[in-house]
């Protein structure tokens, strides 16, 4: 064996490196051992904080590279203890065996062993395994402690944007900082004004807070800002936090409700004010969505098929006028509004009879599960069952109940707002063309997707529009208007069968996006329908 050696020292955290003398102590004892054994120390490695739970460490890898490439034969790596070298268990054993093939031994000052013998190698390998075991044990204790603190409402990791961590009476706390005051405004803009994320980012940037769309979206969905804590350690639970809430829970839920409502099939973009039909209208020949562009010299907007080689290109004003004429098919004459109310009400009740029956069945299942939960709790109080069995069955019943509640949300249907919805929709239908013409670009797109959820097709040869799917409400209005029109001409029927007019097959009710945000009745009914 040679006498050349390197010394490796490390600590696990930055605080250890800066506030204690561990690195100097390790280096001192390693140098004393090298001097005593007559080793020639060629190089020092480490001297900083690096976690040893993996071997992907900068200084550690630098040392291994040096050992491989050094022209001077290195025989020893001197460390203060085995866990200073590595805590990776089996991987540390592999590295030590590979080093041994190169004639390099790892020597621990406080845990000496002769690795040239089988028993010495076994002893060092056991020390490596125990180092990993000790590391895992510490991690489990740390995680258990963190979980307990989180359950008590204390946030232990980095404070979210908008908060500063402070110490009060030797306890950590969090308070809203200046950035937080701006984030609070963003929640109000989202919840009360219905602004898009892009609009909110613009307003925040003006006030001095710049972030990207992903960040603002993550903030809006983080319950921490309304005083609640959600963390992976909590396994899906949400607990009341000890920190200062930035907003109320009601505002948080309202803001996230707006986020869900804004999940439409159209996207508002800059420079799109004169092109509300962009992407909404598709080419009748190839089915490709129309793009839009503006001729700046003339100040004119145009639509064109976005497919290369397709020469479908039309002036925007011409397509807009054609669309307004197309809306007339779904516009109800004012004198037909009152007669239609009762007819539509009966039809919608009939159409949703299955939903009402399903809801009743689900409510019965919920009651049955609640009875089981009550009996299980009673059995536990009377000590008729063990705690393990109690936990097992309670968890099972709660999961079943959760699934049923999710299903109920899908079929939940309330006809109490039906009259308000029908009145609103009929009023809107009697003014469709005017409403579309006088609206801004955003509301025009809302009207378009409200009537035709999947867009419409432009037939270039016949210069008209066609659609494969219409909101079922307006589809019924079109059919009933034709029927009433025929009746007005004298072609009366003994019985007026609305169900024949509503073309059910192949159609699904579309969600009505109201232009009036106060019309919650219309929105709620359309969503449930």
Q: Is the pLDDT of residue 67 over 80?
A: yes
Q: Is the pLDDT of residue 494 over 50?
A: no
Mean pLDDT on 478-487: 64
pLDDT at 219: 92
Handedness of CA 94, 100, 102, 104 (dihedral sign): positive
Structure confidence by residue, pLDDT tens digits, 302-320:
888 878 778 788 888 899 9
pLDDT at 487: 56
Give dist(CA 165, CA 176) in Å, integer: 9
Mean pLDDT on 271-295: 83
Q: Is the pLDDT of residue 358 over 80?
A: no
Among 155-164, 192-201, 391-400, 411-420, the least confident range: 411-420
Q: Is the pLDDT of residue 191 over 50?
A: yes
Count Cβ neighbours within 10 Å for each residue of 360-370 and write b for 16 or more, e otherwise: eebeeeeeebe
Mean pLDDT on 455-471: 86
CB 1 within 8 A of CB 12: no
Crossing angle of helices 353-381 and 387-411, rounded to 10°: 170
Give dist(CA 313, CA 304) in Å, integer: 4
Q: Tokens in use for 406?
A: 């999710």
Q: Tokens in use for 102?
A: 């190169």
| Confidence class for position 322, pLDDT limits 50, 70, 90 | very high
| Confidence class for position 225, pLDDT limits 50, 70, 90 | very high
| Confidence class for position 7, pLDDT limits 50, 70, 90 | very high
Q: Is the pLDDT of residue 108 over 80?
A: yes
Among 32-36, 56-60, 440-444, the least confident range: 56-60
**pLDDT higher for 142 or 479?**
142
Q: Which of 497, 455, 495 is nearest to 476 (CA)?
A: 497
Structure confidence by residue, pLDDT tens digits, 137-151:
877 888 788 888 888
Give dist(CA 210, CA 208) in Å, integer: 6
pLDDT at 273: 64
Give dist(CA 398, CA 404) in Å, integer: 10
Which stretches of 382-471 are DSSP H helices?
A: 387-411, 418-429, 432-438, 441-451
Within 10 Å of residue 58's Cβ, how many Cβ atoms?
A: 10
For residue 497, the SS3 value is coil
**pLDDT higher for 343 or 407?**
343
Report the chain's mean pLDDT, rounded to a whole number.
78
Among residues of the chain, what percentage have pLDDT more than 70? 81
Torsion of CA 407, 411, 414, 419, to 10 degrees: 160
| Confidence class for position 54, pLDDT limits 50, 70, 90 | low
User: Which 8-state DSSP code applies to residue 226?
Assistant: G
pLDDT at 445: 86
Could you tell me how many helices (H) and strands (E) the chain has, helices first? 19, 14
pLDDT at 265: 41
CB 213 within 8 A of CB 197: yes
For residue 85, the SS3 value is helix
pLDDT at 431: 81
| Confidence class for position 20, pLDDT limits 50, 70, 90 | low
Tokens 């390099």 belong to which residue? 104
Give dist(CA 436, CA 474) in Å, integer: 15
Give dist(CA 70, CA 78) in Å, integer: 17
Mean pLDDT on 435-450: 86
Mean pLDDT on 216-229: 90
Give dist(CA 16, CA 3) in Å, integer: 32
Give how far Cα 385 sits from Cα of 249, 370, 394, Å. Answer: 39, 18, 12
pLDDT at 521: 34
| Confidence class for position 259, pLDDT limits 50, 70, 90 | low
For residue 116, the SS3 value is coil
Mean pLDDT on 393-415: 74
């Amino acid at each position: 064996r040679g006498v050349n050696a390197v010394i490796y020292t490390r600590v696990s955290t930055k605080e250890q490196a800066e506030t204690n003398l561990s690195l100097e102590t390790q280096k001192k004892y390693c140098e004393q051992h090298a001097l005593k054994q007559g080793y020639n120390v060629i190089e020092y490695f480490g001297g900083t904080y690096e976690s040893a739970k993996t071997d992907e460490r900068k200084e550690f890898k630098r040392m291994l590279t040096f050992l491989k490439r050094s022209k001077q034969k290195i025989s020893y790596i001197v460390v203060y203890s085995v866990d200073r070298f590595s805590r990776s268990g089996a991987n540390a054993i592999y590295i030590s065996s590979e080093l041994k093939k190169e004639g390099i031994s790892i020597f621990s000052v406080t845990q000496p062993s002769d690795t040239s013998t089988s028993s010495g190698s076994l002893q060092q390998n056991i020390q490596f395994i125990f180092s990993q075991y000790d590391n895992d044990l510490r991690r489990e204790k740390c995680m258990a402690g963190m979980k307990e603190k989180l359950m008590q409402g204390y946030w232990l990791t980095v404070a979210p944007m908008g908060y500063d961590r402070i110490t009060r009476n030797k306890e950590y706390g969090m308070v809203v900082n200046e950035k937080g005051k701006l984030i609070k405004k963003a929640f109000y803009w989202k919840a009360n004004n219905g602004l898009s994320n892009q609009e909110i980012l613009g307003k925040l940037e003006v006030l001095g807070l710049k972030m990207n769309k992903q960040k603002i979206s993550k903030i809006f969905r983080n319950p921490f800002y309304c005083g609640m804590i959600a963390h992976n350690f909590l396994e899906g639970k949400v607990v009341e936090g000890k920190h200062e809430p930035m907003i109320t829970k009601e505002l948080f839920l309202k803001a996230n409700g707006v986020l869900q409502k804004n999940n439409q099939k159209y996207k508002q973009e800059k420079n799109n004010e004169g092109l509300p039909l962009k992407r909404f209208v598709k080419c009748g020949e190839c089915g490709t969505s129309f793009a839009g562009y503006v001729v700046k010299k003339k100040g004119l907007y145009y639509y064109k098929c976005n497919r290369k080689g397709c020469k479908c290109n039309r002036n925007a004003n011409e397509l807009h006028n054609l669309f307004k004429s197309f809306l007339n098919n779904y516009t109800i004459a004012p004198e037909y509004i009152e007669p239609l109310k009762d007819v539509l009400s009966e039809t919608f009740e009939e159409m949703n009879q299955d939903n009402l029956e399903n809801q009743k069945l689900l409510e019965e299942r919920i009651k049955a599960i609640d009875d089981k939960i009550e009996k299980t709790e009673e059995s536990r109080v009377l000590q008729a069952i063990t705690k393990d069995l109690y936990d097992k069955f309670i968890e099972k019943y709660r999961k079943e109940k959760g699934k049923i509640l999710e299903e109920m949300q899908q079929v939940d249907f309330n006809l109490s707002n039906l009259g308000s919805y029908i009145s609103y929709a009929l009023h809107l239908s009697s003014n469709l063309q005017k409403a579309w013409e006088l609206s801004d670009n955003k509301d025009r797109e809302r009207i378009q997707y409200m009537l035709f959820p999947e867009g419409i097709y432009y037939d270039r040869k016949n210069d008209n529009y066609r659609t494969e799917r219409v909101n079922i409400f307006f589809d019924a209005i079109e059919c009933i208007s034709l029927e009433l029109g025929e009746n007005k001409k004298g072609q009366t029927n003994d019985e007026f069968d609305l169900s024949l007019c509503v073309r059910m097959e192949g159609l699904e009710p579309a969600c009505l996006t109201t232009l009036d945000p106060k019309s919650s009745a219309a929105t709620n009914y359309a969503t449930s329908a």
